[in-house]
Structure 1
């Protein structure tokens, strides 16, 4: 086992140890969501529709974020392969995807963020919404809410137009294809040196090391100042493994197996590779 591998597993342990913090976050979001839901239901009874448009979307949004965080925590701590987490496509290739609950959760949270934030900003500016708070906070909060609403709206537009896409990993007998939120990278198995665990942005990441002189094919989903640098993506491939339902350890073992066993890569073209997940890790 390489020194980098040991360091990477230590990084994974560090990320997993932070799960206790996420538990606190989930509890806080759940309490806040239920608190806002209570006020939203009261607002319905009092026919205060503007308050309903703020409280109920905000409440559901908090509860959905709490649920999504719980899903990621479960995937981060998974010790065995979850059923139906790898899809065999028509060609026989293997595709790993985020759980549908996460994908739909992103859409729901962004929509609810837009509704609640815009309602809060406009309601406070027009005095249709009033809350007991200091004059300074009363002045700043609508702008913060509007910024959140704009963020949610931009995110919805980006996903709708394909500028942002949900992560997938496709494995064929010849290539490994990594679709990230911002870009798609494709590299031949023969040009991969190793797949190592790494802590990446508080995720259980996988660092795919490319051989000297080799370059991944890169398709960037959008152009502009926020687009990732193509040159960096050609030589550096990192995957947030805990976004995938299969489990980070199982995904690591699966990819490492086909890097180290080129004679077995035919399994990636006829569906047999799904059986490999039961022994990966």
Structure 2
């Protein structure tokens, strides 16, 4: 049975809006969503079905990007942690990615790849109309669309793997798919939140290294939310004598009770 644990104090910096990151990204993706949506409707009105599908796929893809960014902002501020994504795997505590975030991210990538590939094929073959698509642009646009499609295709493959992705904590250290198979040792100096752009690709992170340029864990895409993950990392970084709890149910019980928060104003 799933329960929400006691409130976790959220950082003031995480409660504010990251204008340089998430808001900028949301505005850009909204612009893309509206622009390509209008083009899709224009193609529909002219019964140009190929162009309509391509444009509407792109519009929907970037629309899902906006939703993913909004979901990350919810997780960034979430003071209660759903426990359904917290399990024991072997002798490690596992915190899974947020399912809604992963689905939104993956659907976005698939739709953008589909739309861009159709665009790259359709413009030079005159299967669709697009503003500013003169004779010269009919060569430039497909090349640009193909580059974007390849980028998003790589993202699609990476995100499809994320369905099983998690942050794993053990006595030996912290491990994620992005950090490699071997766990990163617990930092002797403790963990700390670091300033990032807050966008989809970088996100809100917690440093687990001596400098901000060292290793970090993204926390605004995890099922328990960013604040709970910060406090979980903080507690076991400060208490090496209790890390054996990570191999059994005591760590889950401690997280469920909110006992990982020792000083509520530590990150105020």
TM-score computed with the length of structure 1 as normaliser: 0.70
Q: Is the 8 A contact 2:17 2:23 kept in 1?
A: no
Aligned partner of 2:193 among 193, 197, 215? 197
Shift of 1:258: 1.4
Greater share of residues in strand: 1
Q: Is the 8 A contact 1:198 1:207 kept in 2?
A: yes
Q: Is the 8 A contact 1:251 1:280 kept in 2?
A: no
Deviations 1:123-176 (A, max 9, x none): 11111112232646554322211111121233344566x6x897521123x222
Match of 1:122 in 2: 121
Paired positions, count: 244
CA distance in 2, matches of 1:247, 1:20: 21
Secondary structure in structure 2 of the residue aligned to 1:272:
helix
CA distance in 1, matches of 2:179, 2:147: 22
Superposition pairs for residues 26-65 of structure 1, below 5 Å? 26=26, 29-30=29-30, 32-33=32-33, 36-37=36-37, 40=40, 43=43, 47-65=47-65
Deviations 1:203-261 (A, max 9, x none): 33222237xxxxxxxxxxxxxxxxxxxxxxxx942112223232333222211211222
Deviations 1:82-134 (A, max 9, x none): 21364112546321122112222332222212211111121111111122326
5+ long unaligned stretches in structure 1: 1-8, 211-234
User: Are 2:164 and 1:186 aligned?
Assistant: no
CA distance in 2, matches of 1:264, 1:182: 24
Q: Give the stretch that moved more between structures: 64-73 or 179-188.
A: 179-188
5+ long unaligned stretches in structure 2: 1-9, 262-268
Match of 1:223 in 2: none
User: Are 2:82 and 1:104 aligned?
Assistant: no
CA distance in 1, matches of 2:42, 2:17: 40
Q: Is the 8 A contact 2:22 2:197 kept in 1?
A: no
Superposition pairs for residues 82-161 of structure 1, below 5 Å? 82-84=81-83, 86-91=85-90, 93-133=92-132, 135=134, 137-157=137-157
Shift of 1:35: 5.8
TM-score computed with the length of structure 2 as normaliser: 0.73
Higher relative contact order (CA 8 A, sep 6+): 2
CA distance in 1, matches of 2:239, 2:197: 30
Shift of 1:50: 0.9
Match of 1:206 in 2: 206
Greater share of residues in helix: 1
CA distance in 1, matches of 2:117, 2:244: 53
